[in-house]
Amino acid sequence: MMRRVIVITSRTVKQKARLNDSPTANLVYDALPLSSVAKRWGDEVYFEIPVSAPLADPRELVQMGDIAYWDEGRCFCIFFGQTPTSKKEEIRPASAVDIIGQLLGDPKEFSSVRDGDAITVEREDSTDTETCPEVIAVCKSDKKGTRKQSIGSGKLVRGFGLEGDAHADCNTHRQVSLLAIESIDKMRESGYDVGPGDFAENITTRGINLLALPEGARIRIGDAVLEVTQKGKECHIGCEVFRRLGVCIAREEAIFAKVLEGGTVSAGDTIEVLKNQGGR
């Protein structure tokens, strides 16, 4: 999979995003760099771009932090919350879009963008992002058994978990959960409309074989160090994720860890498996 980073700039916002390998994302990437004028529609920023194409994989619902292409307006869309047509907690575009990637920072930063603001999108040249395992999303929820929302970055507290997350607990070895975007992508290919956080994971990763990590393995993410404590889990009765989808890949493909050293973790952080398992 070709992995490409772009940089979106408007007003005081300058944030990176990762494009997926869809045909529509390829067209957008080929059109860069570009400049346009931002428009707001609820918690969505959108703007015209020089791309005209039919949708390859239309989605009626998106996730916070998704970036997408809207063919009816030939627009680039950034979703950081609910739109005027959203119901309950869903994020619904005006009409179907193609998801072309995800933001690598806090989506809420785009709330400062206003109608008429200049906005640019350009490529970031970086060989490191092509080879290093990384964090795709940091997610939390207020309740257990529910999907989590991407928050861009968060604080891992030693011996506790992700600050503000319902699963954080000093009395468990399952303080933080991790799931690979490659696992989520397999579900998308099977027709499920899912993304980071939908399987209640705290950290969505890319480019690392989580299941190959033995219990006791230590990894560094951002400023924090985690120790792997468990692979897979049993879903509890009443789990919203399983009720909604009828399947939960976290059962087999998620791993759990405790926080040995706290610190901030963010989308875009590299992941390092520590060779010296006795510490840093």
**Each residue's pLDDT tens digit in the chain (280 positions)?**
445 889 999 988 999 898 988 999 999 999 999 999 999 999 999 999 999 999 999 999 998 889 999 999 999 999 999 999 999 889 999 999 999 998 887 888 899 999 999 999 999 865 444 457 899 999 999 988 788 999 989 999 999 999 999 999 999 999 999 999 988 888 888 788 888 998 889 999 988 989 889 999 999 998 899 999 999 876 655 566 556 666 677 778 899 999 999 999 998 899 999 875 544 3
For domain 132-273, give the fold. Answer: M1 Pyruvate Kinase; Domain 3 (2.40.33)
- Which structure tokens are listed for 130? 């092509």
Domain boundaries, the chain: 4-128, 132-273
User: What is the predicted pLDDT for the residue at 252?
Assistant: 83
User: What is the predicted pLDDT for the residue at 160?
Assistant: 97
User: What is the predicted pLDDT for the residue at 130?
Assistant: 46
- Which structure tokens are listed for 163? 């600050």
Q: Is 260 in a helix, a strand, or coil?
A: strand
Which is nearest to 104 in space by CA: 214, 213, 190, 20? 20
Contact yes or no for 79/47 (Cβ under 8 A) = no
How many other CB atoms are there within 10 angstroms of residue 29's CB atom?
18
User: What is the predicted pLDDT for the residue at 185?
Assistant: 86
What pTM does this model have? Answer: 0.60
Residue with tokens 């494009």: 19
CATH of domain 4-128: 2.40.100.20
